[in-house]
A = this chain, B = another copy of it.
Amino acid sequence: MSQSLLLISSSKAGDTPYLSHALSWMKSLILPGSRWLFIPYAGVSISYDDYHRKVADALESLDVELDSAHHLSDPASALDQYDGVLVGGGNTFHLLHELYHHNLVAALRERVGNGMKYIGWSAGSNVAGHSIRTTNDMPIIQPPSFDALGLVPFQINPHYLDYQPPGHHGETREQRLLEFTCVDPLMPVVGIQEGTALKRQGDALVLMGDKTGYLFQGSTQKQSLEPGADLSRLL
């Protein structure tokens, strides 16, 4: 059965309400009355209960039955009961740490590979990539490995932005991704701006939204990917 993924850059785009810019994309995956499991583990300074409620409220118009993994004693063994998983943003290291802790890394790879739908945003999109080595997040907790779900065979950089506060000397996003390509020149990285997403349907991959994406791989630095571009070659 073919994979069905929606990897959203960020929960918000500009001043629009939480997740609202992505609802029409989600609608193509979330059928009315279907059962989905929310994974809240990227949330650190918000309680899992509050996070679950916030997402359920945002998806109200989709008529989805949304359980949260933190209410299940063994979420990995319960995956069969759901049509898809929704993996929220927050801290990527905390999310991956907890996915390993709950034996969800192998379970999600297997289930999503067999057709379970997957929607993630921000950290939830990061962990769908090959590893978390291109996250923007602070490494507040050490996961057993940087290897992630690998639902797509490349790295994702969500919240892609080239901006440097005037006079500040930290690295720009472009410099950070250049350094990644120095260390691992064979691995592609796709930077997706806020308000955009990657959608995979089987062997097809498309850039959703109206902003340019960027590809970094080896000597390829910041190659523009036009809105709507067919990126299936990266699969």
Contacts and interface: CB of A to CB of B under 8 A. Distances in A.
Interface of A: 10-12, 14-15, 44-45, 91, 94, 132-142, 145-146, 159, 161, 163, 165, 167-171, 175-180, 182-184, 194
Given A10-B169, A134-B138, A135-B138, 5 more contacts: A10-B170, A138-B177, A159-B170, A161-B170, A163-B168
Contacts of A135: 138-139
Contact of A179 (B91, B165, B171): B91
For A132, A163, A183, which residue has the most chain B Cβ atoms within 10 angstroms?
A183
A194 B168 contact: yes
Contact of A169 (B146, B184, B194): B194
Given A15-B167, A161-B165, A168-B161, A140 B194 contact: no
How often does this chain occur in the complex, in copies? 2
A133 B142 contact: yes
17 contacts: A12-B169, A44-B179, A45-B179, A45-B182, A91-B179, A94-B183, A133-B138, A133-B139, A135-B139, A136-B170, A137-B171, A140-B184, A141-B183, A142-B145, A159-B170, A161-B165, A168-B194
A133 B141 contact: yes
Contacts of A180: 138, 140
Contacts of A133: 138-142
A46 to B, nearest CB: 10
A179 B138 contact: yes
Query: Which residue of A134, A135, A138, A145 has the most chain B CB atoms within 10 A of its CB atom?
Result: A138
A167 B10 CA distance: 12
Contacts of A140: 133-134, 176, 179-180, 183-184
A142 B147 CA distance: 9
From A146, A163, A170, name the one whose CB has the most chain B CB atoms within 10 angstroms: A170
A144 B183 CA distance: 16
Nearest to A14: B167
A138 B177 CA distance: 8
